[in-house]
Every structure is written in C-alpha cells, then in structure tokens.
Amino acid sequence: MNNITIHGICKALMKNDNFLVFTHENPDADTIGSCFALIVTLRLLGKTAYPACCDRIPASLAFMTEGDREFHIDNAPADFTPEYYVSVDVASTAQFGSYRDYASRIDLSLDHHATHENFSKYYLTDPHAAACAEIVYHVIDRLLNGKITEKIASLLYAALAADTGGFRYANTTPVTHKIAANLIEKGASHAEICRNLFECKTKTALAAEAFAMANVSYCCGGKISYVTITKADKQAHGFEDEDTYDVINVIRRVDGVKVAIFMREKDDGTFKISTRSAGEIDVSKLCAIFGGGGHAGAAGCSVTPEMAESALQRIIKECGFHE
C-alpha cells in the first residue's frame, strides 16, 4: 500500500528544494492545514515552498491562511521554479480539479483515503489516520525534532478537529487525541479554532442551512434524508456554494437517519453529490459507482445534470433499506 516510510519522506524533503504543495479541489480544513503546516515547516528549514490550490479558500476557513484566499500556482513569484511536487489529502487525479494535469508530476502524496489512487512516484496512505494532518504531523515532528511552532500546531489542530467533527466521529482514535494533546502543548489555539470551525457562520451560510431544513425529504422509513440545492435556489436566496458546506451535516443529524445525501448544482451545471453514513453503509462504495470516492462515513461524486436524479435514486436504492 505504501512505498515510502515517514523516515524516507523526511530524507526526501531534506534533500530537495523548491516545493509545490497541492491541496485537493474545494479545499477543506484538512487539506489546507496539512498543506500550510508543511509549507511553514519547509520554509523554517530554509527551503522554498508554495501552495497550489486550484479553488479559493472558503471564507469560513480563511482564518487558517491569515485572510488570504487565492493560492493559485501563478500566485508564486515569477522566478520560482518548482522541483519537488507534493500533494496532501488528495485521493485521486480528479481531486486535483483544474490542476489535474499536474497529478502525473507528483513526487510524493500523503493521504488517508482508503480509495487513494496511486498516482504519484512515492505515496504514503494511512486509512486509519483520522486526518491527513496526522500523517503530516509525524513528518513535521520528525523534521523539526519535536520543535513544532505555535503556528504549525494551530494549522494541524484545525485539520484534525475538522476531519473528526470536533473529535466526535468514529475515525477519532487514541492517536488522534494524543496528537491533539501534543499540539495544544505546542500552543495550538484550540478554543478559537473550534469556534471558527464549528460555531461561527456567515448569515448566508445560516440561510443555506435554513433552506435545507425547510426542504429536506426522507425515504426508506426515515433512514435516508436528502435535499437538493439548485443554481436557481442559490440565486433566489442569495447563498453561494461555500455557504452550503455544512448542509449535509444539518440533514444527517435527524434522529433515525442512517444515510444523508446532499445534491448541489454547481455553477458549471454539474451536480455535486455529498453523502454521509452513520456507520452501517459504506458510502464511498456508493459514490464510486459514479466515479467518486471518499471514506466509509463521508464520500462524494459529481454527475452531469442529465444523470442527477437517476444517480440520487440509484444511491438510495443501493443503500438497500426497505420502505
């Protein structure tokens, strides 16, 4: 499954310079925290490193990047020539989004998705890691001889907290808690991070969630909840794609729901389907039918507008619940 160790990764990073570190498309806190923690570390070691993020950082996560939201490859200085390409939390070539063409150049990928495609020269995937940041933590801790800075600690803590839903999801392990404890010891501002991640919401994000609560449907005796937000809905109610990131978490909370499905029409007209499972069903398998992937408890895929309704019905059917 892996062709390099943490020790090997540290050697490769020490030996090289001029790093470009890729996040996945529609970046979340894990890919952002992993990417920026690695960049800060590499710079501390005297190296040149820049992030490559094809999509804007969501406004709700801009607290992780000091308010900056654009980290395109051409935002790096003109005289920067990348020599070593890394990706973090990226499970497949498709997840590079508009940077898909770079996938074949990746020297090293660090990931925690069981569905990881081995697209890179070297790869370390640990599906037992709650977040990619757990793997990145081990790399950084070794590179810095335990001298993790406050800033790095906060970035990794935010990544860990986000991918575990505030250490509540089934992916949380004793290792996750030990790493989190160490990051707090190193100065991670945990309370502020958790407020930013889980409590603060823009008015438009709250409006999107209110829309979802008002329009959610149930089937299979209440075991499945689902809702769709179209472009027209977004226009009519004034919310944007990034306002809808927590919609899936709103509709999965309903008592008795085993699988939640959220379908969102993107600006390019395709539909992004996000799924969550309470445990029984492996939703990554359902999303794989449509070329997507993710984790057993959280997965997604994208389909064409013509496919959207039938994909939703197929996913519902594949859950195998009876009415």
**23 vs 41 by CB, closer to Mn ion:** 23
If binding is defined by CB under 5 A, does position 126 make contact with Mn ion?
A: no
- Tell whether the torsion through CA atoms of 300, 306, 309 and 311 is positive or negative: negative
| Contact stretch for Mn ion (CB under 5 A) within 129-137, 139-147, 256-264, 294-302 | 129-137
Rounded-to-integer distance, Cα 184 and Cα 45, Å: 23
Rounded-to-integer distance, Cα 172 and Cα 176, Å: 6
Q: How far is the CB of 293 from Mn ion (least distance, A)?
A: 12
Q: How far is the CB of 113 from Mn ion (least distance, A)?
A: 7
| Contact stretch for Mn ion (CB under 5 A) within 56-64, 79-87, 127-135, 287-295 | 127-135
DSSP letter string, 174-206: HHHHHHHHHHHHTT--HHHHHIIIII---HHHH
Instruction: Show contacts with Mn ion in window 268-297 (CB under 5 A).
Output: none
Q: How far is the CB of 42 from Mn ion (least distance, A)?
A: 20
Q: Vertex 290, ends 285 and 293: CA angle to 5°?
A: 45
If binding is defined by CB under 5 A, does position 107 make contact with Mn ion?
A: no
Contacts of 272 (CB under 8 A, 6+ apart): 263, 264, 266, 300, 301, 302
Q: How far is the CB of 147 from Mn ion (least distance, A)?
A: 25
Contact 96, 90 (CB under 8 A): yes
**108 vs 308 by CB, closer to Mn ion:** 108
If binding is defined by CB under 5 A, does position 89 make contact with Mn ion?
A: yes
If binding is defined by CB under 5 A, does position 233 make contact with Mn ion?
A: no
Nearest to 135 by CA among 120, 168, 150, 113: 113
Give the distance from CA 143 to its chain's centroid: 24
Q: How many residues bind Mn ion (CB under 5 A)?
A: 4
Q: How far is the CB of 30 from Mn ion (least distance, A)?
A: 3
If binding is defined by CB under 5 A, does position 163 make contact with Mn ion?
A: yes
Rounded-to-integer distance, Cα 317 and Cα 286, Å: 10
**Number of Cα atoms under 13 Å in the Cβ half of residue 164:** 27
Q: How far is the CB of 65 from Mn ion (least distance, A)?
A: 17
Question: Nearest to Mn ion by Cβ — which residue?
Answer: 30
**28 vs 318 by CB, closer to Mn ion:** 28
If binding is defined by CB under 5 A, does position 111 make contact with Mn ion?
A: no
Amino acid at residue number 45: L
**30 vs 141 by CB, closer to Mn ion:** 30
| Contact stretch for Mn ion (CB under 5 A) within 46-54, 98-106, 130-138, 315-323 | 130-138
Buried residues in 157-181 as b, exposed as e (16+ CB within 10 A): bbbbbbbbbebeeebbeeebeebbe
Q: How far is the CB of 63 from Mn ion (least distance, A)?
A: 18
Nearest to 272 by CA among 294, 296, 297, 253: 294
Q: How far is the CB of 133 from Mn ion (least distance, A)?
A: 8
Contact 40, 155 (CB under 8 A): yes
Interaction pattern, residues 244-273, with Mn ion; x per rule: CB under 5 A: ------------------------------
If binding is defined by CB under 5 A, does position 30 make contact with Mn ion?
A: yes
If binding is defined by CB under 5 A, does position 134 make contact with Mn ion?
A: no
List residues binding Mn ion (CB under 5 A): 30, 89, 132, 163
